[in-house]
Amino acid sequence: MSYSNENIQKASQVFFYLLKSKIVPINDTLGNEYIENLEVREIVKTMADEAGLLVFHTGGNVHLVSNPDNSIFATSYTHMKEKYKGLKKKKYFYLANIIICVFLSEIDKEKFIRIRAEEDGISYYKLEDIITKTIESWEKRNDEEENFSKDWALAIDDIYTLWTVELSHSKPSNSEELPFSKSTDTRLGFIHEALKPLKDEGLIIDMMKESRIIPKDELYERLNYLYHSQERYEEIMGLIEDTKEG
């Protein structure tokens, strides 16, 4: 199919704007162009597909995300390490992923619980407590069940040692404006570091001064469109919920 030069130019503007912003409201000029102009939408999807990216619109936004399997923009551990200095070794990367999963398990609930999460947020201290209980429970199961770590593809021993031994309990901040130290050698400081990718993607509001994290609508849009259909995501959420109930 041949496209007009005007629409190719418009589609390029939309694509590179998405590439920069990751999320574009549909009432934005370029977001609206994507929604209303079928030809522009087809060109943008083709450009995204060629780059191993996925573009979709849901709720009030257009999203652009990486396909982890074949995207030239996929974020490897090496790239994450360069961007987030707290991820010094792979075990820090593994722990950060678990922290994100625990956070998601707290906010990915029924609608009335979601509304409360959006209004009140999740406390850093509550998150630390749930992470500790989750990791301790998994370590216990790993001792009792020979293939627990292997079956779940989780580096339990490394994560457990890092969280319970190597990371210290949180320290007061030297700044009067912050309730705790942002040092990634402390638990709360590392939680702050682990959630930075969500903040950088515009998916959460990190209200560190108030010791809470607030999920945004954009995060729920991604969860609904991308993750609820993924078996691995549902399995990990189930494993975390089992720990809370145990």
Q: What is the mean pLDDT of residues 36-42?
A: 96
DSSP 11-48: HHHHHHHHHHHSEEETTSHHHHHHHH-HHHHHHHHHHH
CA angle 150/154/155 to nearest 5° reads 100
The SS3 assignment for 236 reads helix
Tell me how crowded residue 199 is: count the other CB atoms within 10 A of its CB.
14
Tokens of 5: 């030069």
Q: HSE (CB half, 13 Å, CA atoms) of 192? A: 22
CATH of domain 5-66: 1.10.10
Element at 234 (helix H, strand E): helix 231-245
Tokens of 232: 């691995």
pLDDT at position 1 over 90: no
Q: N- to C-terminal Cα distance for the chain? A: 57
pLDDT given for residue 68 in this prediction: 60
- Cβ atoms of 127 and 191 closer than 8 Å: yes
Domain boundaries, the chain: 5-66, 77-243
Quick: pLDDT tens for 143-193: 999 899 999 999 999 999 999 999 998 777 777 778 888 889 999 999 999
Q: HSE (CB half, 13 Å, CA atoms) of 171? A: 11
Quick: pLDDT tens for 183-202: 899 999 999 999 999 999 99
pLDDT at position 73 over 60: no
When the pLDDT of each residue in the chain is averaged and rounded to a whole number, the result is: 89
Element at 222 (helix H, strand E): helix 217-222
CA distance 164 to 245: 21
Q: Comparing C-alpha atoms, which of 122, 87, 107 is closest to residue 194? A: 87
Q: What are phi and psi of 174, to 5 degrees?
A: -75, -15
Tell me how crowded residue 61 is: count the other CB atoms within 10 A of its CB.
22
